[in-house]
Structure 1
Amino acid sequence: MVKQTRATLSRLPNWRARLAAEMDRQRRDPFAWGSHDCALGLAAGAIEAITGNDMAAEWRGRYTTPLGALRVLRKAGHASFTDFVAAHLPEHDHPDQADIGDIGLVESDGPVGVALCIVDASGVIVMTETGHGRRPRSDMTRAFKVG
């Protein structure tokens, strides 16, 4: 069962091809806070590919550091990165319910403590300093439905 939240997104008929193309495009872009990080690059790019909805438009370019990202989130009324995601996407009761293209949260050694990931058939795709990386699905602590 998915918990109800504000965002209602629908997957486009060709979402799988669009998601594959977006993941290929992203692999060419280096990590950059505020433009191509786990939220504004990886997750927002996947959500836009799957649904056609750019949920990150108002956030791009508003920060360039992890501290800046947290500051922007707090100004918007979110206590944490996790709270922000939960306020915008419906949450699965358990990460095992996540489907391909859904968004997950994984613990991170980075300065924010968590990172967004994209669920795929064999695990999750994460951002690293050098591009996309992979982790097992079991690393997800929470999962959110995209469309």
Structure 2
Amino acid sequence: MVQELKRRHDWRGRLSAFLDETRRDGFAWGKHDCALGLACGAVEAITGADLRKGWRGKYKTNKGALRALKKRGFDNVGDAFAAELPEYDNLLMAGVGDIAVVQSDDEFLEAMAVVDVSSLIILTSEGQGRIPRSRMVRAFKVG
């Protein structure tokens, strides 16, 4: 069910604190991956809403994540976020703290990112990284 979330009055500080706390946390399937760790963590920092419910502990590998998505009727991780958050028709409308989908080279073919002022924050094996906003292929409104 698509949710109209509200941003907390101090969302910028909360998002900044979340990103600082997790800056060096590397990618780990089912714990700190691009969806559960980065994107859902940012949504929770900004709004207080926990989008991880029902997903925690359900997978530990990329194949497990794909199975979990398929079991819930999603073809990809972007569609799972589209079931929870309003999607922008115009990617240029995405602002700081919104969630983006970018294409990836793995079997998922896409990954989640957090929109920042001039770039997208992504998750790598070493922690957070940045890529150009031009890599965004979908975007979702957070509050």
TM-score range relative to shorter protein: over 0.9
Q: C-alpha separation between the residues in 2 aligned to 1:131 and 1:84? A: 23
Partner of 2:79: 83
Gapped regions of structure 1 (runs ≥ 5):
none
Which portions of structure 1, spanning 4 or more consecutive aligned residues, are displaced by more than 3 angstroms? none
2:42 aligned with 1:46, yes or no?
A: yes
- Distance in 1 (CA, whole Å) between partners of 2:79 and 2:49 is 20
Cα separation, 1, equivalents of 2:89 and 2:79: 15
Find 1:139's aligned residue among 135, 138, 143: 135
Residue 122 (structure 1) shift: 1.5
**TM (normalized to structure 2)?**
0.96
Q: 1:37 matched to which residue of 2?
A: 33
Aligned length: 143
1:72 is matched with which residue: 65, 68, 92?
68
User: CA separation in 2, counterparts of 1:93 and 1:115?
Assistant: 19
Shift of 1:87: 1.2
1:93 is aligned to 89
Instruction: Give 1:22's match in structure 2, choosing from 18, 26, 47.
Output: 18
Residue type of the alignment partner of 1:122: S
Alpha-carbon distance in structure 1 between the residues aligned to 2:90 and 2:38: 22
C-alpha RMSD over aligned residues = 1.1
5+ residue gaps in structure 2? none
The one-letter code sitting in structure 2 at the alignment partner of 1:49 is: A
Residue by residue, what CA displacement relative to the aligned partner does 1:53-107 show, whole Å, maximum 9, x if unpaired?
Answer: 1111321111011111010011111122221111111001121110100000001
SS of alignment partner, residue 13 of structure 1: coil
